[in-house]
């Protein structure tokens, strides 16, 4: 492992333009750091990098650190957190790698196209990038996300979906293709050709497809909701993928005694359909792995209580008890990551 790390650092440090993919500078107005030539940084400014690549899946190798103490995180495309903030001591260089999905539209499937190519933004309290290399990912496994606004790549701050935060927990060789879309129900996700009809042909043997739809099935009867989940499961299996059903995250809606409301908070719709219960039933009937996010988020929200749980959602900013903040989305993505590992759906060595 130590030898591989030294080799990676050496490769990044001696990169030449000939070994990198075709790229264009992020901005001529803010030049790259001095000495950037030959380390991939000619494609970067002090705060961002742009690589002119076609849609696909790419491995990104970065060398973090500088002459002073630094702390660097990386986001990409539509505000996806790709690498958690990493601290480096003065003069230290740390190599990290991750795999990213590049597509059009780059965020929500029914949203704007976004910028062609791969866009990365450098963040953290004191960002320092010493080298970067982008190459096609030859054998990456994909995790597709089929969901709604609680999991999608939200385009604007302060909103964030848990699928938007999940990539930071994954190492090179495993990418997130987030096809969650705001406002979608099981009905609309199957009906809209930009959604499941687009996702299904992209699924390859061994890919995971995380399915979490319920928040917008307010008028969907139980038989239809069950059938729609079964249709999604069958469609994933048809392509050789592995479906995983997730019960919905709770809404932050408390009773006077400090417990969550059995209806609104726990996703029982106006027709009396208990979405989490139906999802659990479909998973059991069809042998589908289940991540019970309703139970997990309920336990967490109730343990935090009325006041502390506000930080998970956008209550303080928007009086919103349904959509998560970046903090809440990160906490919930962590729950998903832990379950993927615990159920052996992804190897422990591919997560951070």
**CATH number (domain holding residue 26):** 2.60.120
Q: Which residue, of 89, 108, 136, is where some domain finishes?
A: 136
Q: Say yes or no: 233 and 282 in one domain.
A: yes
Which residue among 79, 104, 136 closes a domain? 136
State how many domains the chain has.
2
If pLDDT is split at 50, 70 and 90, which confidence band does 40 have? confident
For residues 91 and 213, membership in a common domain is answered with no
pLDDT in tens, 257-302: 999 999 999 999 999 999 999 999 999 999 999 999 999 999 999 9
Give the chain's mean pLDDT.
Answer: 91
Where a domain ends, among 121, 136, 151?
Answer: 136
Q: What percent of the chain has pLDDT over 70?
A: 89
Asked if residues 169 and 333 have their Cβ atoms less than 8 Å apart, the reply is yes
- Does one domain contain both 200 and 331? yes
DSSP codes joined into one string, 244-299:
EEEPPPPP--B-TTSSBPTTTTTTB-TT--BHHHHHHHHHHHHT--EE-HHHHHHH
Alpha-carbon distances, residue 136 vs 52, 94, 167 (angstroms)? 12, 22, 17
**119 and 181 share one domain:** no
Same domain, 84 and 104: yes
Whether residue 156 sits in one domain with residue 114: no
Give the range of the structural domain holding residue 123, as residue numbers without chain letter: 2-136
In order of 223, 279, 296, the CA distances from 227 in angstroms are 6, 11, 25
Q: Is 294 exposed, middle or buried (0-12, 13-18, 19+ CB in 10 A)?
A: buried
Same domain? For 50 and 148 the reply is: no
d(CA 293, CA 333): 10
pLDDT band at 95 (very low <50, low <70, confident <90, very high): very high
Q: Which residue has the tokens 């392509």?
A: 239
pLDDT in tens, 161-209: 999 999 999 999 999 999 999 999 999 999 999 999 999 999 999 999 9
Give yes or no: residues 183 and 290 share one domain. Answer: yes
- Kindly report the pTM of this predicted structure: 0.90
Instruction: Return d(Cα 37, Cα 33) in angstroms, integer.
Output: 9
Residues 192, 336 within the same domain: yes
**How is residue 152 annotated by DSSP?**
S
> Which CATH number do you get for residue 148?
3.40.50.1110
Q: Provide mean pLDDT across the span 344-348.
A: 96
Do 118 and 16 lie in a common domain? yes
What DSSP string runs through 25-52? -S-SSSPPPTT-TTTTGGGB-SSEEEE-
Percent of all residues in the chain with a pLDDT value above 90, rounded to a whole number: 88
Say if residue 286 is in the same domain as residue 227: yes
Give yes or no: residues 79 and 148 share one domain.
Answer: no
Cis peptide before 28 (omega within 30 of 0): no
């Amino acid at each position: 492992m130590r030898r591989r790390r030294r080799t990676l650092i050496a490769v990044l440090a001696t990169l030449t333009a000939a070994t990198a993919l075709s790229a264009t500078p992020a901005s001529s107005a803010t030049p790259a750091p001095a000495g950037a030539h030959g380390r991939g940084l000619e494609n970067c400014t002090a705060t961002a990098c742009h690589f002119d690549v076609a849609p696909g899946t790419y491995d990104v190798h970065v060398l973090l650190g500088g002459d002073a103490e630094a702390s660097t995180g990386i986001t990409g495309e539509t505000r996806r957190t790709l690498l958690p903030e990493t601290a480096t001591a003065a003069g230290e260089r740390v190599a990290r790698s991750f795999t990213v999905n590049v597509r059009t539209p780059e965020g929500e499937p029914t949203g704007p196209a976004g910028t062609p190519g791969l866009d990365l933004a450098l963040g953290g309290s004191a960002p320092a990038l010493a080298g970067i290399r982008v190459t096609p990912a030859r054998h990456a496994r994909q995790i597709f996300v089929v969901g709604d606004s609680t999991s999608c790549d939200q385009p604007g701050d302060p909103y964030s979906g848990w699928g938007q935060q999940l990539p930071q927990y994954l190492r090179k060789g495993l990418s997130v293709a987030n096809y969650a879309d705001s406002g979608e129900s099981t009905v609309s996700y199957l009906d809209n050709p930009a959604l499941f009809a687009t996702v299904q042909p992209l699924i390859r043997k061994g890919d995971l497809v995380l399915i979490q739809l319920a928040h917008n099935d307010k008028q969907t009867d139980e038989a239809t909701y069950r059938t729609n989940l079964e249709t999604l499961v069958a469609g994933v299996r048809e392509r050789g993928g592995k479906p995983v059903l997730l019960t919905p995250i709770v809404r932050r809606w408390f009773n006077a005694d400090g417990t969550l409301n059995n209806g609104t908070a726990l996703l029982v719709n106006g027709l009396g359909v208990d979405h989490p219960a139906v999802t659990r039933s479909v998973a059991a009937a069809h042998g589908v792995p289940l991540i019970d996010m309703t139970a997990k988020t309920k336990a967490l929200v109730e343990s935090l209580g009325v006041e502390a749980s506000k930080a998970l959602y956008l209550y303080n900013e928007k009086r919103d008890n349904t959509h998560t903040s970046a903090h809440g989305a990160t906490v919930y993505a962590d729950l998903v990551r832990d379950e993927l590992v615990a159920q052996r759906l992804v190897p422990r060595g591919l997560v951070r």
